[in-house]
Amino acid sequence: MKQFLFFLLLAFCSKATLAQQWKLVWSDEFTQPGLPDPSKWDYDIGGNGWGNQEKQVYTRADPKTVSIRNGSLFITAYKTPEGKYHSARLVTRGKADWRYGRIEIRARLPRGRGVWPAIWMLPTDDAYGDWPTSGEIDIMEFVGYNPDSVFTSVHTDAYNHMMGTQKTKGHLLRMNWQDFHVYAIEWLENHIHFKIDGNTVFSFKKEKDEAEVWPFDQPFYLILNLAIGGTWGGQKGIDDSIFPQSLEIDYVRVSQPAAH
């Protein structure tokens, strides 16, 4: 019995040590109704296709496309009477960025053919050159015509979707528009672990020091957006009967190693 209690205590201490290795450095719990906190979030705006032939126009601080209510952030896409799609793309660029850490987002996804929500990161300064040379981290992507799966990916100069070499993995996640899930990365000097609901679903490890395969040694900022259509999200067309649709974010939390 004493031996059992010893091992139980050891396991508890090990878990406690593991939990204590991260220190919260930035968060948004979305408790204040209205528009997002301007000290934490900015907007990308416009309707230029965003490099993927997307159909939406991103608006700035528009309560129709972005609002906080009932303790959640809602990024909403809708179709205007003129036939345009409006949505929002929030960024922490210029407000906050991070080099290494645990980035964790609890979210519920929209549904329907044509939606393309994403939770992802881009480099603040493009230290190694324009995309994809300086890297991209896709914490979660979802396309509505494939309703039972979400995707995690990285893009670099050597590994990117323009060449069909991107490092990516799909994950079965049925009925993801009904329930919240926690999407996270744990990003350290030699690896990025992608997690869903606490389970590691994909890992990208540093193969060598060259930036073409590992540009992830520089600060990145966070992006939350809901795209419509595009080269991936629109492959099966857009079902206009689904709108409005929202990406709902319960919280965003960023932690770094306690000794960082």
Cite the active site residues.
136, 141
The rounded distance, in Å, linking the Cα atoms of 134 and 23 is 27
| Cα–Cα–Cα angle for 87, 63, 116, rounded to 5 degrees | 20
- Give the containing element (helix H, strand E) for 4: helix 2-19
Residue appearing with tokens 């670099």 = 156
The helix, strand and coil proportions of the chain, stated in percent and rounded to the nearest 5, come to: 10, 45, 45
Cβ(143)–Cβ(233) below 8 Å? yes
The rounded distance, in Å, linking the Cα atoms of 116 and 145 is 9
How far, in Å, are 1, 14, 37, 129, 180 from residue 5 at the CA level?
6, 14, 48, 55, 36
On the CB side of 3, CA atoms within 13 Å amount to 0
Burial of 182 (0-12, 13-18, 19+ CB in 10 A): middle
| Cα–Cα–Cα angle for 39, 76, 53, rounded to 5 degrees | 100
